Amino acid sequence: MEPGGLQWVLGPGRQLAAWGAAGAMVFGGVVPYIPQYRHIRRTQNAEGFSTYVCLVLLVANILRILFWFGRRFESPLLWQSIIMIITMLLMLKLCTEVRVSNELNVKRRSFAAADSKDEEIKAPPKRSYLDFDLNYFWHWSKFTDYVQCVLTFTGVTGYITYLWLDSSLFVETLGFLAVFTEAMLGVPQLYRNYQNRSTEGMSIKMVLMWSSGDTFKTVYFILNQAPFQFSICGLLQVFVDIAILLQVYLYSHYPQKPVSHTAHPASTKAL
C-alpha cells in the first residue's frame, strides 16, 4: 500500500482512538459510582458509602475548573470535572434522602440558619447562621443545604481566584491543590484499614476499578502533556491504590488481631 493510502487508513483510526480516550477520560471517573448509586437506591441503605467522598471530589473538581481559567488545559479534563460535580451532587441527593428516611432522630441539622417553622422539629431550634459543629458538618438533613455549601465555597474561591488570576504562583498552587485533594481520596481508607488491621467491609472490586481508572488517567496526563501537577498527583493516587491492594493481600494472608465491626466502615471512598 502506498504511503498516502496508509495514511488515509491510519488517520481516521487515530482520530477514533483519540475520541475514545477523551470519552473514557470524561466519563470513566464516574463509572465506579454507578453500581454504588444503584445499590443504595435498591437497598435504601447508604451506610456503606461515606458522603465525604462527595465533599473531597466536589472541592477538587471546583478547584480544577477555577485552575482552567488561569491555565487552559485539555478540554476532556474540564468536562470530566463538570460531569464529576453533577455525579457527586446526585449521590448526595440520594444518600441524604435515604439517610433521613431511615433516621429515628427527629432533630434536623442544616447548613443555613434553622427554620423554626419546620414541623419535624419538636423543640425551638438554636438560632445560628451556619451550623459548623464538626460532629454534624456535611451531615445535614436536606440536599439544599449541601447545594448552599457548595455554592458558597464556589463563590468564595471563585472571587479569590478572580483577584489573583494574574499571579502565576497562585494559579499553579490552585492547580496543585485541586489534584492533590483528589489524590488524597484514598488515604483515610488506607489509614482505617491500618487501624482495624483488616479490609473487611471494603469492596475489592471497587478498589480495582479505582486503580485501573487512576492508572489510565495518569497515563493520559503524561501522554497529553497535562500540567505537571496532574501527572505527579496522578502517580501519587496510583501509589495509594496499590497500597490499599497490598493491605488486602497482607490482611487476608496474614490475619491480624480480630476487630469487631458493629457497622459498615465509613471511608472517603465508596465502599
User: What digits encode the pLDDT tens for the residues 7-45?
Assistant: 555 566 666 766 676 677 777 778 878 877 888 888 888
Residues in CB range of 118: below 8 A, 6 or more apart = 108, 125
Quote the pLDDT of residue 271. Answer: 39
Distances (CA, A) of 48 to 51, 260, 267: 10, 16, 9
Does the pLDDT at position 59 exceed 80? yes
Confidence (pLDDT) at 134: 67
| N-to-C CA span, the chain | 53
Helix ranges (H only) for the chain are 3-27, 33-43, 52-70, 75-102, 143-164, 168-183, 187-196, 204-223, 228-253
The amino acid sitting at 33 is Y
Give the cell for residue 161. 481566584
Residue 180: phi and psi, rounded to 5, are -70, -40
pLDDT digits (tens, 9 = 90+) for 225-261: 777 878 888 888 889 889 988 988 888 877 765 544 4
Q: Which three cell numbers stand for residue 113?
A: 440558619
Look over the chain and give the mean of its residue pLDDT values, rounded to a whole number. Answer: 77
**Number of residues that this document lists for the chain:** 271
Phi-psi region of 55 (alpha: psi -120 to 50; beta: other; left: phi over 0): alpha
**Domain spans of the chain, in order of start:** 13-105+137-253
197: left (phi over 0), alpha (psi -120 to 50) or beta: left
Answer yes or no: is pLDDT of 4 > 60. no
Between CA 100 and CA 240 the distance in angstroms is 33
pLDDT band at 127 (very low <50, low <70, confident <90, very high): very low
Q: What is the pLDDT of residues 135-186, one digit of tens each?
A: 778 888 889 999 999 999 999 999 999 999 999 999 989 988 988 888 887 7
Position 63 confidence tier, pLDDT thresholds 50, 70, 90: very high
- Alpha-carbon dihedral angle through residues 83, 87, 92, 94, given to the nearest 10 degrees: 150
